[in-house]
Structure formats: structure tokens, C-alpha cells
């Protein structure tokens, strides 16, 4: 039986890894010629990816650390785990709103300093606690408006939770899915532009992927639209915010604080920035959920060719027909590809038992179960068709 070497980068939860049958999958960090890479935030952009590679699985949501388009062009699906860490991020965003609203970060520093630096104790400490607390007086959430940019798995949870805490919630997402729309509280008002959202929000939170269209989307012009004393929360990716513009607005007093998960040299030491060490998905529950989902999707692809939750190919799932041989074929999305594939199968005298083809963007993927043996020569003939990117015989 074929075995599949899987290289892990980053710490992947053992709850997920233990689902990989070691008689079929060889799993480790030092793996030569891996068939698959399983990772979290490791940067694959500058890594030379081996010719042996069939798939990449991201135990998490964001795939900006992976050269997704380059891999699509090679017929390599990149899986992620939508929603698997959404609750963990939602809870951190709510914590971030409270950290900012009640000035908790500086308040805790203040009391630590009273004891650790000033050496106060007993009645002196109590006196200074009461004398100093007024500088940390904050604001309450009910009645304030939160703007949520990106109403996907995380944005919807954040919007609903904020709404239940008494905030007025506005949401903006030009491509909101039907599933997300069903999950969204009817009290969340969807607005039609980032500009409208910012001009009406005391606090704004970002839940979009980092792609060309979202890079730097919170810039100086847009920050200027926010009311005085606004709060920006960024648990998406550092690059969606022009941090220099945010810092300028913090320094001028226009913004109250910037809470984020992506420390930079400037942000980490700024008194109005609360920078956490990329903690959004760092709960045991989220790490387990992501690893289980990534592992299951990856194993199903390696063993059966099924694609679920790839960011660069459509979902294609087909139950295996006993006694047949399966082919998984990636091709450019252009006319007459299916005709040429089925013609090659017919010319080889193979009867098609099941066939599924779906396209997404520039590419398409076919799963086909045929009655009889698929010779290597047939695979080579299919690969020789112009527009075919990869063809894989998937043993039962």
C-alpha cells in the first residue's frame, strides 16, 4: 500500500495528529520528499516546495503565509479550517474591547508599579490605589457602536456577542455568505461601505483575510472618519491596518487605543497600543479543532482525492465505488477539458462508473471512477492534453 509522508511545521495538536494511521501516514518534522505539509503560521512563501508535494493543510483560517496561487497552478490544494478557531478569536476580541474600554492594561501596570517599584504596602498602598484610580476611569459598552468589517466565521460570532452585550452593531461584508447571513443576529445592521461603518462606529473590529483588496484598508483617510476617541481592534492580520496612520491618530488623540494580535517594533511599546503575541487561536479547544479538521481533510484528499475546504479549488467529494479505480485530475478552466478526458478514457476502453467535475476561478478538478485498471500510459496521455495540470491515480 502507498504510504504518505506528511511534514509538520509548527506545533500541531496531538488530538489531530493521532487520527493519522501510522501504517499509512509517516508524520514528522524531518521528512524528506513530503506528500503533504501540515502547518499553522510558518511562512512558505520563501520555501522551495518539493516536487513530491500533493497538498498543504493549514490548521487555522488565514492562508496569507502560503503561496496559494502558485500551488494552484501546480494542482496542489491548500486546505484551511474555516470556523474551527472562531470562538477563540471572538472571546479575545470581547476581551480586547474591555481592555480598551476600562484601560485595564495600564491600570494593572499602575498597581504592579506601586508595589514592585515604589515598595508600597498596607495603608499606603490602599491610599495610593484609591488616589490613582481616577486616571483609569473608562466607558461602558452598552450604547456604544461596534463596526464589524468581515462577516465570516469570526465576524458573525463577534457581532452577535457584542450585540448581546448591549452594543449597537454595524456590519460590512460585500460577499457575506448565505450561511453567515442566517447566523447573524437580525439586530446587526448591515451597511454598504467601510466609510459609512467607520463614521458611525465608536469601536471597529476587523475580520477579513489579508489579500490585495484588504491590505492597508484602515488608513489615515478612513481613520479620520471615526468619531473622536475611537478604538480599533485588529485580530485579522497586521497588514490590513496602516499602523503608522493608526499611531499618528493615537498620538493626536483622535483614537483612544489600538488593540491587536500582531506586534511591531513601534506598536509593542506605544502607550495606547495593546499588542498581544498572536493569541487569537491559542486555546486548547481551538488548537484541537483546527488540527482535527485539517488532518481529516488532508487524509481524505490523500486517500480518496476528495477536496473539502481548499482555498484554491472547489469542493469535490465523491463516495468511492467498490471495484473501480479513481483518478483525480486538475486542469485549467477552459472549454472541452471534460470531453478530452472522457475521450482518453473511452479510447483506453474504460467504462466510467462515477464522474464529478467542478471549476473555481482559473482551475477545475475532476474525480472519476473507472471500471478496470488505469495503465501508466493512460495517465501520461491525459497529462499530455493541453491544460491538464496534474493527474493522480488514487488507489483504493
Shortest distance (Å) from residue 154 CB to ligand NAD: 3
Q: Which does 128 bind (CB under 5 to 8 A by kind): ligand 2HG, ligand NAD, none?
A: none
The one catalytic residue in 130, 265, 377, 395 is: 265
With CB under 6 A as the contact rule, the residue among 237, 256, 270, 272 that binds ligand NAD is: 237
Shortest Å, Cβ 169 to ligand 2HG: 23
The interface partner of residue 236, options being ligand NAD, ligand 2HG, none and the CB cut-off 5 to 8 Å by kind, is ligand NAD
Alpha helices in the chain, H assignment, sequence order: 14-17, 68-73, 86-101, 104-116, 122-132, 153-164, 178-183, 194-200, 220-225, 243-252, 265-268, 284-304, 337-347, 376-383
Say which of 74, 278, 308, 392 is annotated catalytic.
278
Beta bridge partners of residue 281, listed in sequence order: none
Instruction: Give the span between the Cα atoms of 257 and 232, in whole angstroms.
Output: 7
Q: Please pick, from the candidates 51, 119, 213, 277, the single residue that binds ligand NAD as defined by CB under 6 A.
A: 213
- x/- track of binding to ligand NAD for residues 259-288 (CB under 6 A): --x----------------x-xx-------
Give least dist CB 302 to ligand 2HG, A. 22
Q: Of 383, 377, 381, 370, whose CA–CA distance to 327 is shortest?
A: 370
Interaction with ligand NAD in 27-66: which residues (CB under 6 A)?
Answer: 60-62
Under rule CB under 6 A, residue 159 binds ligand NAD: no
Position among 205, 214, 309, 325 found at the interface with ligand NAD (CB under 6 A): 214
State how far Cα 372 lies from the chain centre. Answer: 41
Q: What DSSP assignment string belongs to 210-226?
A: -STTTTT-B-HHHHHHS
Residue 385 CB, shortest distance to ligand 2HG, in Å, is 37
Stretch that binds ligand NAD, among 3-11, 12-20, 27-35, 202-210 (CB under 6 A): 202-210
Residues with Cβ within 8 Å of 320's Cβ and at least 6 positions away in sequence, in order, are 304, 326, 369, 396
Which cell numbers in the block locate residue 29?
Answer: 518534522
| Binding residues among 130-149 for ligand NAD as defined by CB under 6 A | 149
Binding positions for ligand 2HG, rule: CB under 6 A: 40-41, 60-62, 85, 278, 280-282
Q: Are 224 and 245 in contact (CB under 8 A)?
A: no
CA distances from 80 to 25, 47, 57, 101, 389 (A): 20, 19, 6, 33, 22
Choice among 40, 58, 222, 237 that is catalytic? 237
Choose from ligand NAD, ligand 2HG, none: what does 213 bind? Cβ within 5-8 Å by kind. ligand NAD
Q: Which of the listed partners (ligand NAD, ligand 2HG, none) does 40 bind, with a CB threshold of 5 to 8 Å by partner kind? A: ligand 2HG
Residue with cell 506598536: 267
State yes or no: is 237 an active-site residue: yes
Site membership for ligand NAD, residue 258 (CB under 6 A): no
Query: With CB under 6 A, what is the number of residues at the site for ligand NAD?
Result: 33
Residue 142 CB, shortest distance to ligand NAD, in Å, is 25
* Contacting ligand NAD within 71-110 (CB under 6 A): 82, 85-86, 89
**Is 91 a known active-site residue?**
no
**Is residue 175 part of the contact set for ligand NAD (CB under 6 A)?**
yes
β-strands 324-332, 363-371 pairing: antiparallel
Q: Which stretch binds ligand NAD (CB under 6 A): 29-37, 174-182, 299-307, 345-353?
A: 174-182
Alpha-carbon distance of 78 to 153, in angstroms, equals 19
Q: Residues near 358 by Cβ (< 8 Å), separated by ≥ 6?
A: 314, 315, 316, 364, 365
- The cell numbers describing 372, all together, are 478496470
Query: Nearest 5°: CA angle at 86, between 56 and 282?
Result: 75
Report whether 149 contacts 197 (CB < 8 A). Answer: yes
Catalytic (active site) residue 395: no
Phi/psi zone of residue 60: left (φ > 0), alpha (ψ -120 to 50 degrees), beta?
left
Alpha-carbon gap, residue 130 to 358, rounded angstroms = 66
Residues labelled catalytic:
237, 265, 278
Give the binding site for ligand NAD (CB under 6 A).
60-62, 82, 85-86, 89, 149-155, 172-176, 180, 207-210, 213-214, 235-237, 261, 278, 280-281
Amino acid at each position: 500500500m502507498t504510504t504518505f509522508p506528511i511534514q509538520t511545521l509548527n506545533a500541531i495538536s496531538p488530538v489531530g495528529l493521532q487520527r493519522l494511521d501510522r501504517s499509512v501516514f509517516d508524520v514528522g518534522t524531518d521528512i524528506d520528499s513530503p506528500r503533504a505539509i501540515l502547518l499553522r503560521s510558518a511562512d512558505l512563501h520563501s520555501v522551495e516546495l518539493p516536487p513530491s508535494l500533493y497538498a498543504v493543510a493549514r490548521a487555522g483560517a488565514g492562508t496569507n503565509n502560503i503561496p496559494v496561487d502558485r500551488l494552484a497552478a501546480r494542482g496542489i490544494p491548500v486546505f484551511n479550517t474555516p470556523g474551527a478557531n472562531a470562538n477563540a478569536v471572538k472571546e479575545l476580541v470581547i476581551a480586547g474591547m474591555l481592555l480598551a474600554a476600562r484601560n485595564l492594561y495600564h491600570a494593572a501596570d499602575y498597581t504592579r508599579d506601586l508595589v514592585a517599584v515604589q515598595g508600597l504596602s498596607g495603608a499606603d498602598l490602599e491610599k495610593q490605589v484609591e488616589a490613582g484610580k481616577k486616571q483609569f476611569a473608562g466607558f461602558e459598552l452598552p450604547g456604544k457602536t461596534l463596526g464589524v468589517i468581515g462577516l465570516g466565521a469570526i465576524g458573525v460570532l463577534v457581532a452577535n456577542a457584542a450585540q448581546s452585550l448591549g452594543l449597537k452593531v454595524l456590519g460590512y461584508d460585500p460577499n457575506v455568505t448565505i450561511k453567515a447571513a442566517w447566523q447573524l443576529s437580525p439586530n446587526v445592521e448591515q451597511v454598504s461601505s467601510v466609510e459609512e461603518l467607520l463614521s458611525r462606529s465608536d469601536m471597529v473590529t476587523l475580520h477579513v483575510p489579508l489579500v490585495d483588496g484588504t491590505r492597508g484598508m484602515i488608513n489615515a483617510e478612513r481613520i479620520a472618519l471615526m468619531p473622536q476617541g475611537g478604538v480599533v481592534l485588529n485580530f485579522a492580520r497586521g497588514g490590513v491596518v496602516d499602523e503608522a496612520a493608526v499611531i499618528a491618530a493615537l498620538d493626536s488623540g483622535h483614537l483612544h487605543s489600538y488593540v491587536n494580535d500582531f506586534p511591531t517594533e513601534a506598536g509593542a511599546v506605544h502607550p495606547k497600543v495593546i499588542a498581544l503575541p498572536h493569541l487569537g487561536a491559542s486555546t486548547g479547544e481551538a488548537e484541537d479543532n483546527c488540527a482535527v479538521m485539517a488532518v481529516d481533510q488532508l487524509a481524505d484528499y490523500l486517500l480518496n482525492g476528495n477536496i473539502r475546504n481548499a482555498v484554491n479549488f472547489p469542493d469535490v467529494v465523491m463516495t468511492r465505488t467498490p471495484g473501480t479505480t479513481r483518478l483525480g485530475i486538475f486542469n485549467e478552466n477552459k472549454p472541452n477539458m471534460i470531453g478530452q478526458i472522457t475521450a482518453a478514457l473511452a479510447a483506453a476502453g474504460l467504462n466510467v462508473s462515477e464522474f464529478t467535475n467542478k471549476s473555481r476561478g482559473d482551475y477545475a478538478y475532476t474525480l472519476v471512477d473507472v471500471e478496470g485498471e488505469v495503465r501508466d500510459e493512460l495517465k501520461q496521455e491525459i497529462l499530455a492534453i493541453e491544460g491538464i495540470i496534474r493527474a493522480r491515480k488514487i488507489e483504493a
